[in-house]
Structure 1
Amino acid sequence: MQAVILAAGMGNRLGKYTKNNTKCMLEINGTTLIERDLDALAANGIPRCVIVVGYQKQNLIDFVGTNYKGMEIVYVSNDVYDKTNNIYSLWLAKDWLLKDDTILLESDLIFENRIISDLLHDPEPTLAVVDLYQSWMDGTVVQVNNQKVITNFIPKKFFDYQERHTYYKTVNIYKFSREFLVESYVPFLEAYSTAMGKNEYYEQVLRVITTLEKNELKAFCLSGQKWYEIDDAQDRDIAEVMFCDDSDEKLSRMSKRFGGYWRFPGMLDYCYLVNPYFPTPVMLNEMKSSFHDLISEYPSGLNVQNLLAGKMFSIDEEQILTGNGAAELIRSLDASLKGSVGVVYPSFNEYPESLPSHQIVPLFPADMQYGLSELLRWTEQCDNLLLINPDNPSGNFIPKNDVIRLLDKMKDTGKTLVLDESFIDFCSLGASESLFSQDVIDSYPNLVLIKSISKSYGVPGIRLGVLASSNSTLIKKARKSLSIWNINSFGEFFLQIIGKYRKDYALACSQIIGERERFKILLEKTGLFKVYPSQANYFLCKLTMPITARALAKTLLADHNIFIKDLTGKKGIDGTSWVRIAVRNGSDNDRFISTINTIKGTIE
């Protein structure tokens, strides 16, 4: 067995990273791609590696040499790398292909070493490594039958998104038997190159071979092994997180991304808070059907968005503002609230970060729990009070009647209550506990209501939130900070059609409530957590065994691809034993519990 690595390309899309070096010399966390490739091959006993070089080839040759950890290195030069594609690079190495069984791979890949090991141990002589297609992938895909035979190579221009559930992405790692190379691939490679020229791709030859009656090419389907193809700076950034060996650094990097986790295959996000049961497939299909119009047309201005939000919540359009997520509206409060603001800690960071520090009166409940009596006492210390209900991250809940009593007291003393109800729909008593109603708003001009639609309705990608108040002066000041086009067309369309799906949404919230109670019991049974009561779609938990929150979060991410919220260092959190855990759907939560039980076994 030998290996062939294609490394002649220029990597123009990587910009400054490949300005003076070939693509495979790109470093990921301090180690070049070519070193990673060669390490994987050498670790599996490959005696010889043929590298096809081109752009800045001398840098690569000087760096690697002719022997790498006991593996012979041979170079084949593509001197017209800037005028050809990879079919010509592989054609230049055809004489080497005829000598032995061969592992073929491209040099812009980063992957787990075990992929090579698993490939070599598979008894099938000729295999293409493939992975079930996901939205972050790009390039050639294939279709595979029940016998793992590759039945079709589908290039980009023939990609059909309606069929993507049947596609597998080629990882660009192959195992070819010498017999296959001699009798099929190399002859077809020479014929195809002669007929079609040097500016084609070697996968096209494989595509032709799959049409033959004697098709020997089978799929080696990955099952969770990590890999990534690096074409541009964003790919580099993602790869540095995926393949970070320092678990502490990996957790820090992941935490600083604040989302975009769909680019990280298979990761379970227990940090960010959404509704896993909504939108329904029917609603999503309605949005998909209007995709072309939504992406090609301007959205309406803020007046129309406020009209739609008012319709959604049955509130006068002059008393409601629509934001690009609740975070945008929270930031607008800085110019709207006068005097000191009582903030219950720990809190959602957007609130204290939106206010000048001298304006904040910090309030610390005992053991993360508080009720009406504490709130009434705190109002004596400040001009305004912020209440997140249910609270984030504690899940603490104040019943509606108590909030009304609080409002009455604050109204009498001329104080404003900022009430965030982003998670109120997950309350066991349902939406009846919400103060988002015209009557309440009209009765209490000292009330500012905020709600994140992104979280409760499960649409964080379209970024929606609302702020409502009958205080016209406050509304006008907050509005000045908003752009006329702060909501995109997808958000507008959501507001337009949500009324048809109210019953589905209510059912989704009831599913969360049921799963939350089941998940709480399972979390407590692990013996690893003290689980605090919650009326939201997450739990505040204190670790009860000798492991820190940081250590647990690192282990979950590095070893199990699960991301939780480590609360260490958050204002109002005392010690290093606190985490917040989201409520996902039943199957995800079962996997989480199984993983926790595994980790617990290593602690005891």
Structure 2
Amino acid sequence: MKEGTQEVMKHKNTMENKYNTQEEKYEYISKQHGGYYRHHFTDHAYLYNLYFPPKEIFSHLKDNIHNLVLNYPMAQDALAELIGCIINQQSERIIVGNGAAEIIKILSGSLAKKIIVPVPSFNEYVNAAPEGKAVEFPLEFPSLQLDVDKFADEAIKVGADMAVVVTPNNPTSMLVPKNDLIRLAKKLEPSNCMLIIDESFLDFADNNEQISLEQDIDKYPNMAILKSMSKAFGICGLRIGYMLTANADFAKKVRDGIHIWNINGFAEEFLRILPQYKQEFKASCNKVKVDRDIFYDQLCSIEGMNVFKPDANYIYCRLPDAAISGPEVVKRLFIKHNIYIKDSVGKTQPDAHRYIRIASRTQEENNKLIAALKEVMYE
């Protein structure tokens, strides 16, 4: 091995292994927000499709790597056309983000004078808002269902100009029925409150094409659909998300917050070739659902475990009363079995320390998780 290569490998090992024991590894990983693949553990924490993209997409990107690296990617209008071809929508209704997180930052951080979010939910909607601009609306406890009528009343009461609903919700993995969302939009419209519906995990739900509101968007001028493509399409590293709305003024305000080259060439090329793989994508989501449903039944068989029936590719559980806390379960799973899941201590809800969220992976990996979970749950 050449001296230069040795130095590169030494630096690489130093950067990736800032720990000497499994306990130190846990402390390091628990503070990270990605790059997990570098650290060799089973990731039941992040939520993505393991069965997509197919190898042909990787081969295509590899074969075109020179052009993708050396040339500027396209800007917003052309990117919106690519998304429009995928979702069968007019490009002027679409804003393409560097992941949904970029658009959330614009929505919560810049546009909303006051935003209301049901909790527990995806934390970024509240985290991205300036201090005092976000209102947390507690879900019904212990069912963790959203009462849209109470939510609408509270949104109007606090003077919110933006309301967010994630469906299926993260972390609960439960849908909000389509008719409830339509009723919510209509109740909010007289108060000039935009309803943001995050459908990032909807591809894993049954009958998702019938329950999505994307094809009904022109009926509701105070509605926008937000979607992270990382989850369903398994492309976390490409960073693609989009917002869809028939409200031209609102679309312009969001688009004005996007810089000119926010999407890289690899992400652009992925969008360009994605329509060729519709059947493969549908098959991959069906495979995810099969694995998840088996995993759900296995979790339900654990005595005392309260398991919420999932509509997404992850499952939310309340630990048995006699079990140790969620954070302790997470730590023990990692240290003893090199498996990483999420607790809910960072979520706004009663008894957050009793809840865990587990991403469904392959059946073999899910089986190992079940056995390890049973082993570490009790003192």
Common fold: TM-score over 0.5: yes
Residues 1:408 and 2:186 are matched in the alignment: yes
Offset, 1:476? 1.9
Map of 1:264 onto structure 2: 39
Please give the per-residue CA displacement for 1:106-128, whole angstroms capped at 9, x wherever unaligned.
xxxxxxxxxxxxxxxxxxxxxxx
Residues 1:508 and 2:284 are matched in the alignment: yes
**342, 351, 355: which one aligns with 1:578:** 355
Map of 1:303 onto structure 2: 77
Please give the per-residue CA displacement for 1:414-459, whole angstroms capped at 9, x wherever unaligned.
321011110111112222211112xx22221201211000111110
Aligned AA (1:576): H
SS at match of 1:462: coil
Map of 1:29 onto structure 2: none
Residues 1:231 and 2:4 are matched in the alignment: no
Please give the per-residue CA displacement for 1:108-150, whole angstroms capped at 9, x wherever unaligned.
xxxxxxxxxxxxxxxxxxxxxxxxxxxxxx77xxxxxxxxxxx
Map of 1:420 onto structure 2: 198
Distance across 2 between alignment mates of 1:569 and 1:338:
23
Map of 2:212 onto structure 1: 434
Map of 2:260 onto structure 1: 484
Aligned AA (1:364): P
Supply the RMSD in Å over aligned alpha carbons. 2.3
**301, 318, 325: which one aligns with 2:92:** 318
Distance across 2 between alignment mates of 1:254 and 1:528:
29
Offset, 1:230? 6.3
Task: Tell me if the contact between 1:346 and 1:573 (Cα under 8 Å) persists in the aligned partners.
Answer: no
Task: Tell me if the contact between 1:515 and 1:585 (Cα under 8 Å) persists in the aligned partners.
Answer: yes
Aligned AA (1:592): L
Distance across 1 between alignment mates of 2:341 and 2:42:
9
1:43-442 equivalence runs, <5 A: 231-232=10-11, 235-241=13-19, 243-244=20-21, 247=23, 250-265=25-40, 267-334=41-108, 337-365=111-139, 366-367=141-142, 368-382=144-158, 383=160, 384-437=162-215, 440-442=216-218
Task: Tell me if the contact between 1:334 and 1:354 (Cα under 8 Å) persists in the aligned partners.
Answer: yes
Task: Tell me if the contact between 1:336 and 1:478 (Cα under 8 Å) persists in the aligned partners.
Answer: no
Residues 1:594 and 2:368 are matched in the alignment: no
Map of 1:557 onto structure 2: 334
Offset, 1:575? 4.1
Distance across 2 between alignment mates of 1:573 and 1:356:
24
Task: Tell me if the contact between 2:345 and 2:352 (Cα under 8 Å) persists in the aligned partners.
Answer: yes
Offset, 1:518? 0.7
Task: Tell me if the contact between 1:537 and 1:582 (Cα under 8 Å) persists in the aligned partners.
Answer: yes
**Identity level (%):** 33
Distance across 2 between alignment mates of 1:533 and 1:373:
23
Structure 1: which 5+ runs fail to align? 1-83, 86-137, 140-228
Distance across 2 between alignment mates of 1:237 and 1:324:
26
SS at match of 1:275: coil
SS at match of 1:385: strand
Distance 1:336 1:436, change over 3 A: farther
Distance across 2 between alignment mates of 1:559 and 1:442:
52
Distance across 2 between alignment mates of 1:575 and 1:399:
25
Distance across 2 between alignment mates of 1:286 and 1:466:
23
Map of 1:530 onto structure 2: 306
Residues 1:449 and 2:225 are matched in the alignment: yes
Please give the per-residue CA displacement for 1:242-272, whole angstroms capped at 9, x wherever unaligned.
x245x3x54342122211111112x111111
- Deviation beyond 6 Å, 4+ runs, structure 1: none
Offset, 1:586? 1.4
Aligned AA (1:349): N
Bigger helix share? 2
SS at match of 2:242: strand
Aligned AA (2:193): K
Distance across 2 between alignment mates of 1:521 and 1:487:
40
SS at match of 1:553: helix
SS at match of 1:449: strand
Please give the per-residue CA displacement for 1:490-549, whole angstroms capped at 9, x wherever unaligned.
100111011111111111111122211110111122336321122111111111132111
Distance across 2 between alignment mates of 1:532 and 1:589:
17
Distance across 2 between alignment mates of 1:403 and 1:557:
39
Map of 1:97 onto structure 2: none
Task: Tell me if the contact between 1:278 and 1:458 (Cα under 8 Å) persists in the aligned partners.
Answer: yes
Aligned AA (2:220): Y
Task: Tell me if the contact between 1:454 and 1:464 (Cα under 8 Å) persists in the aligned partners.
Answer: yes
Task: Tell me if the contact between 2:137 and 2:151 (Cα under 8 Å) persists in the aligned partners.
Answer: no
Distance across 2 between alignment mates of 1:599 and 1:316:
51
Task: Tell me if the contact between 1:422 and 1:451 (Cα under 8 Å) persists in the aligned partners.
Answer: yes
Task: Tell me if the contact between 1:342 and 1:381 (Cα under 8 Å) persists in the aligned partners.
Answer: no
Map of 1:133 onto structure 2: none
Please give the per-residue CA displacement for 1:173-218, whole angstroms capped at 9, x wherever unaligned.
xxxxxxxxxxxxxxxxxxxxxxxxxxxxxxxxxxxxxxxxxxxxxx
Map of 1:517 onto structure 2: 293
Task: Tell me if the contact between 2:49 and 2:288 (Cα under 8 Å) persists in the aligned partners.
Answer: yes
Distance across 1 between alignment mates of 2:284 and 2:196:
27
SS at match of 1:343: strand
Distance across 2 between alignment mates of 1:494 and 1:597:
41
Distance 1:381 1:397, change over 3 A: farther
Structure 2: which 5+ runs fail to align? none
Offset, 1:306? 1.5
Distance across 2 between alignment mates of 1:345 and 1:546:
24
SS at match of 2:324: coil
Aligned AA (2:369): F
Task: Tell me if the contact between 1:361 and 1:381 (Cα under 8 Å) persists in the aligned partners.
Answer: no
Task: Tell me if the contact between 1:336 and 1:477 (Cα under 8 Å) persists in the aligned partners.
Answer: no
Distance across 1 between alignment mates of 2:76 and 2:166:
26
Distance 1:381 1:503, change over 3 A: farther
Task: Tell me if the contact between 2:109 and 2:130 (Cα under 8 Å) persists in the aligned partners.
Answer: no
Distance 1:420 1:550, change over 3 A: same
